[in-house]
Amino acid sequence: MAARGSAGDAALRRAAEQWLLWDKNPKTYAIVKQLLAEGNAGELQKYFGSRMEFGTAGLRAAMGAGISHMNDLTIIQTTQGFCRYLEKNFSDLKKRGVVIGFDARAHLSSGGSSKRFARLAANTFISQGVPVYLFSDIVPTPFVPYTVTHLKLCAGIMVTASHNPKQDNGYKVYWENGAQIISPHDKGISQAIEENQEPWPQAWDDKLIDSSPLLHDPYAMVNKEYFKDIQKQCFYRNINKETNLKFVHTSVHGVGHKFVQLAFKAFDLSPPFAVPEQKDPDPDFPTVKYPNPEEGKGVLTLSFALAEKDGARIILANDPDADRLAVAEKQESGEWKVFSGNELGALLGWWIFTCWKNNSRDTRAIKDVYMLSSTVSSKILRAIALKEGFHFEETLTGFKWMGNRAKQLMDQGKAVLFAFEEAIGYMCCPAVLDKDGVSAAVITAEMASFLATRNLSLSQQLKAVYDEYGFHITKASYFICHDPEVIQQLFDNLRNFDGKNTYPKSCGRFKVSGIRDLTTGYDSSQPDQKAILPTSKSSQMITFTFANGGVATMRTSGTEPKIKYYSELCAPPGNSDVEQLKKELDELVNALEKHFFQPEKNKLQRKTE
């Protein structure tokens, strides 16, 4: 073996030996001790090759031993860094404090669980004299940003891996404004983690927090105040009380069940039927392949069966940390339609604006009203805004951008009514500056109940929205690729398509009329060819505009080994040949896959249902 290889192996051994000096979790300690005894460099590389990267989404990785995984020691190290970074940024940290929430994830073989990680994080802060509002039980992710804002805290942490596979966990961070962190905070926290790796003296003794005057439980208060706040979005209480519409709800083995039931009660709606096999939290997610309602009908099989049995027409599905919402409706034909994130965004945008218009005692003129969506989401809100006279803004992908922008606008006295992203995330209530699947579920139920009094289904109303504001047909999917070099090569090819620094001029028969590359900052539509939205060299994202009015974006995912694409064809109001538009978009997507992704050449794995 070359000297460099053996030097690398020696460094891995040193990292593992250092780990054993610090790790007091018997399960992860035993795993690492065994690895060292076996001396398998490949295995050591897997656990100690590189530390989990702390990004704007915080941490997300599989639970297990070593610096590449979520475990007791990496949680202690991360929280020590975060604590030092907050001390540097807030002189009143010891007065205001932080909030910590957790979901129901657990991993037997490494002894890790969301609750255990949350307690260790709380212990880290309390050992430094920082007050901690630690939820005593599982909560939806939106409860953490809500608490940051409501109690004017310095920061929030939610221990969750959302809808990731069962072996994963995550550590999501909110700033004092109630929105997820954006750069440069991620870099600052990352550096502070590097500087604070040795566990502090009381790091492992989490029993100390139970008797500490610095520990507070916000559970009862938030359960009361949150449901009071979302009732500001309840406009048709009488209809809710009378409606015959039946709903099915699934929390997909996550945290959502109790909270959606409470939300329905707060809106005077009869409780939805809960899918019995999925209503209680279960870290094994036994009834689904992926606990992600975004994956379509496969996740909803049990919901369809219950709806048929109980005569329910609408299904509401949360992901396991209840910050996302999927909706399905039974059609006249007996088929179930699962709405895409863009379709539900169109419906909720229309509904929330209509309610504001009809019920607003708000004296602010329409010129102070805003809606936001991410740049890969449908432009339907732009079309509604143009016709109705309010403002629409698009942001980079991810609610961290929409949450931070919404806060800026609210601080300027503007009303931000709604924000959404196509990945079934909706912010329907300004009390939470992040996506919230609980408020979105109950607001969707009220909208459906109202429409039922007009003999309209959600699908019929969606068509009415498109008839009025123009059809917006969207299609999104992804390819799986585990090789970062292949991904880099694919995007490099697009940037050097017909020679160096030239982008494609066409895609099959479709002529390209504009290009925006948010990795490099190039935008052909701007006079100086510089993109307006912020750019990031660490992720890939190129948007192509086509001469036929189509738009397609290709981007890498920040949390999964995926190359995603999003496409949309927008027609002006009055063009109602939907089938022709769909056909045109299908052809465009086929060309995009064939010419730009080249799945066979790049050995990309298609999304499977």
Q: Residue 80: CB partners within 8 Å, gap ≥ 6?
A: 124, 192, 193, 196, 197, 199, 200, 203
CA proximity to 56, closest of 184, 197, 148: 184
Pair of tokens at residue 428? 């329907």
Supply the DSSP string of 61-109, one letter for each residue: EEBSSSTTSBSHHHHHHHHHHHHHHHHHH-TTHHHH-EEEEE-S-EEGG
Cα distance between residue 290 and residue 293, in whole Å? 8
Pair of tokens at residue 540? 């890939």
Pair of tokens at residue 39? 């001396």
Place of tokens 């707060």: 266
Cα distance between residue 192 and residue 609, in whole Å? 42
> Strand, helix or coil at 570?
strand
On whether the CB atoms of residues 93 and 204 are closer than 8 A, the answer is: no
Pair of tokens at residue 60? 């997300």
On whether the CB atoms of residues 192 and 84 are closer than 8 A, the answer is: yes
CA atoms within 13 A on the CB side of 136: 10
> Strand, helix or coil at 360?
coil
Amino acid at 432: V
On whether the CB atoms of residues 335 and 267 are closer than 8 A, the answer is: no
On whether the CB atoms of residues 428 and 440 are closer than 8 A, the answer is: yes
Q: Which of 162, 373, 449, 457 is catalytic?
A: 162
Q: Is 162 a catalytic residue?
A: yes
Amino acid at 430: P
Pair of tokens at residue 429? 């209530």
Cα distance between residue 397 and residue 382, in whole Å? 16
Burial class (CB in 10 A: 0-12, 13-18, 19+), 549: middle
- Which positions are catalytic? 162
